[in-house]
Structure formats: structure tokens, C-alpha cells
Structure 1
Amino acid sequence: MDVTGSHGVGEDARAALLELLVWRRDVRRFRTDPLPSGAFERLVETACLAPSVGLSQPWRFVLVEAPERRRAVRASFEACNAEALSRQSGERAALYAGLKLAGLDEAPIQFAVFADRATSQGHGLGRMTMPETIDYSAVMALYTLWLAARTEGIGLGWVSILDPVAVAAALDVPAGWSFIGYFCLGYPVEETDVPTLERDGWERRCDPRAVLVRR
């Protein structure tokens, strides 16, 4: 890395980071070939470099390999997806029906992320008035894994159309764990710098200036 000193990195590193962010995608279409042995564990190690409130490191990665547990998650997805479709109407319903919203049949790796709200790690520092920072910390770890995966040409898809209670029960996790999300991981069928939902006509990225508020 072209390090320029304690205040930043070189132009090449900044350009590489920007390229990584541009090409990170929420993948829905995966190849079925497996990832190299140890790849997921290595990505989790990188994810653990993420910042966390009070150094609590509350993230819990649950690798889902048992077929019956995967079937239970898929059943939740199908039920929730059908409910979501029933709430659409007209052209939007037809568009929704044509979206591919999960890679559950193709992705070689499936995992869930939870936040352990009862963890004693960090001794409660920084979360007395904002306990939700435990969940935010787990999201930071997930995003770190997401970017690390992209550097290896590995895609990640977030399956958000699920019942959190049903997923937690299917995976038999402790009651104090908060469900963050369920994810598919594998090599993408294609690579693009345009979000799939934008290409499919569901939504477009907004102008970054529209989200900046000055006071």
C-alpha cells in the first residue's frame, strides 16, 4: 500500500477503495461452485476488525449448513414474499413478481448474523442511552465482511424478506441474540456496477446531495 503517513494513504489506495465501493453489489444470482476451503472463516476474521461500541464485538455469525434449517429459512422467505407481493398492485405488482430477491437455491454458503445484546464484552461502555448501538456494531462487521468478500470476487446477497422470529427459531440461537440478517455468499454469475433493482426498474439511486442536511 502506498502509505503517505499517519494522516492517510496514497492516491492508489484511495482509488482502489472507491472502486471497491462502486463495484460492491447485493448479489441475487450466484454460481453453484463452492468457495475455497476456509474462505468463509477468513472473511469472518476480517469482519472482526470492524469497530464496535465499547469494543463489545457483539456480532455472531451462524453458518447454516444443515438442509432442514435451510428449508425452514426458505419456507419463511416464501411466506413473507407472498405476503409482500399481495400488498403490491397494478404495474408495481407485476414488477415485484419478476424480481429475483434471493439466491437461496444457488449460493453455496448461507449464514445469519445476530447481535448478542446480553454480551458482557465492553462492560456496557457507550450503550447505556443508546443500546441499539450493539445492533449497529454487528452491521458494521457485516459490511466489513461484504467488502472483504468483494476483493476476492465473492458476492454477498442480503435476504431481508424473512420473519426474524422464525429464523431465530430455525437456527436455535440464544434468546438474547438480535437478528440482523440472513445472507447468501458465493461467486456471482455476473459483475456490474449498477444495482440490480435499478436495472430491473424497481428504483434508482438518489442524488447524494439530496441526503445532505446542513444546520
Structure 2
Amino acid sequence: MIPTATQASATLEEIFRWRRDVRHFRPEPVDEATLDDLLRSASMAPSVGLSEPWRFLSVDEPGRRDAVRAIFASCQAAALTERAGQDAALYARLKLAGLDDAPHQIAVFSVENPEQGRGLGRGTMPDTTVWSTVMAVHNFWLAAAARGIGVGWVSILEAEAVRLTLDVPTSWRFVAYLCVGYPVERSDTPELERLGWEQRQAACREWVRR
């Protein structure tokens, strides 16, 4: 049965509220059929010129996972040295990735100049292919949240090192590295907010007018 607009709006609002950046995962894997469903949901995202530039790569080989973990550790150490005092101490306590726990790891790339779409909408704003890929990631994330599955976006990674580690074409631009699995616990408050790193600002929910 097709839900009413009110029902659909309430459900979507609930998914928004429970969509968190997860870093603590239970070990049991998500079944392949469900992962396939999440990929289909991702592929329903809008894309510039109907170019569908996203490429989702499941990283399964232990050696490649270890290499990505090493890239993260190097970038994390460099980021820590750039901070000082109390900020550095708090940063050091943050768990910024679920690479050691998540049963699934997915790298997301965007084809920089795909033939599909024939360039429509990209002449003046070529980054729209990347933005389209981010929309696909968001679809994937919301679909996962609706099923009680957690997603964590690891961004403390050097893009070219990841691309070389995963041996993908040079035309594929690295966009996201996702840790996926069932969360240890669910919360409607961002972990960074719970740990005192930052607070949501009410101004972000207000229109800027000109």
C-alpha cells in the first residue's frame, strides 16, 4: 500500500534522525541480498545528465583492507601533529573510523568524465559528477539506516594512495570509504556531539536570505 504523504514524511524524518556516522560495529555481516538492495537504492540517486557516474567497490581482500588501514593511520598521525593543546588531546580520543570492526568496507568512486550523459549539465560545473556520486552515497546511507544498518564515512585518507591500493582506473575519482555493518548501539545524537567535539548550530536550520 502506498503511504500517505503524512506517513511518508514522518518515516523519512525518523530515518534522518537515526542516520548516524557509525564507528562501532558488531562483527556479524550483512547478508548479500540486503547489500544488493542498498546498492540498488544508491543507484536511484539523481545524477547530472543521467550520467550515473558512481562506482561502488566492495573491498574484501585482507591485504587491501590492511593497506587502507595503514593509509588511515598515516593520515591520522599527520592530522594529530597539526593540532595542539586541549584540541589535540580531544582529537586523540576520538574514534574516527570503524576500519577494525566493520564487516564490510566499500570504496566509492566517481567517473570524472563519463560518456553516459553526453556532458549534459557539466560544461560550466564539471564537479556535478562528484556531487551526483555523493547523492548516491546518501541514498545508500539512508537505505541502510532504514534497515538498522550503520554506515561510517572515513575521510582521513589520501585519495591517490587509496586509488592505487584498490587498482582502479585513473579516471575514477575517490569520493568515499564506507564502513558498513550493524552498529553496537544506536543513537539519535551524533557521536562527535556526545563526545564534546562540536554542537549542532540552530542557524544551520535557518534560511539565508538576499
Distance in structure 2 (CA, Å) of the matches to 1:186 and 1:208 = 33
- Choose the corresponding residue for 2:113, options 115, 118, 129: 118
Q: CA deviation at 1:37?
A: 2.6
Aligned pairs (5 A) from 1:33-182: 33-182=28-177
Count of residue correspondences: 210
Distance in structure 2 (CA, Å) of the matches to 1:159 and 1:41 = 21
Distance in structure 2 (CA, Å) of the matches to 1:209 and 1:95 = 24
SS state of the match for residue 173, structure 1? coil
Q: Which residue of 2 aligns with 1:6?
A: none
Q: CA deviation at 1:130?
A: 0.4
Residue 207 (structure 1) aligned with residue 185 (structure 2): no
Once the two structures are superposed, residues 129-152 of structure 1 have per-residue CA deviations (whole angstroms, 9 ceiling, x without a partner) of 100000000000000000000111
Q: CA deviation at 1:38?
A: 2.3
Is the Cα contact below 8 Å between 1:63 and 1:111 reproduced in 2?
yes
Distance in structure 2 (CA, Å) of the matches to 1:107 and 1:63 = 13
TM-score (norm 1): 0.94
Is the Cα contact below 8 Å between 1:2 and 1:10 reproduced in 2?
no
Is the Cα contact below 8 Å between 1:103 and 1:184 reproduced in 2?
yes
Residue 31 (structure 1) aligned with residue 30 (structure 2): no
SS state of the match for residue 182, structure 1? strand
Identity of aligned residues (%): 54
Unaligned 5+ runs, structure 2:
none
Q: Measured at CA, do residues 14 and 195 of structure 1 come closer, stay the same or move farther in structure 2, by a change above 3 Å?
A: same
Distance in structure 1 (CA, Å) of the matches to 2:203 and 2:39 = 31
Once the two structures are superposed, residues 17-43 of structure 1 have per-residue CA deviations (whole angstroms, 9 ceiling, x without a partner) of 101101100000000111113222221
Once the two structures are superposed, residues 26-67 of structure 1 have per-residue CA deviations (whole angstroms, 9 ceiling, x without a partner) of 000000111113222221111100000000000000100011
Structure 1 ranges of 4+ moved more than 6 A: none
Q: Which residue of 2 aligns with 1:196?
A: 191
Residue 187 (structure 1) aligned with residue 182 (structure 2): yes
Is the Cα contact below 8 Å between 1:2 and 1:11 reproduced in 2?
no
Distance in structure 2 (CA, Å) of the matches to 1:24 and 1:150 = 5
Which residue identity does 1:200 align to in structure 2?
Answer: L
Unaligned 5+ runs, structure 1:
4-8
Q: Measured at CA, do residues 19 and 31 of structure 1 come closer, stay the same or move farther in structure 2, by a change above 3 Å?
A: same
TM-score (norm 2): 0.97
Q: Measured at CA, do residues 24 and 54 of structure 1 come closer, stay the same or move farther in structure 2, by a change above 3 Å?
A: same
Distance in structure 1 (CA, Å) of the matches to 2:163 and 2:204 = 38
Q: CA deviation at 1:210?
A: 6.5
Once the two structures are superposed, residues 83-132 of structure 1 have per-residue CA deviations (whole angstroms, 9 ceiling, x without a partner) of 11111111111101100000001100001110001210011100011000
Which residue identity does 1:176 align to in structure 2?
Answer: S
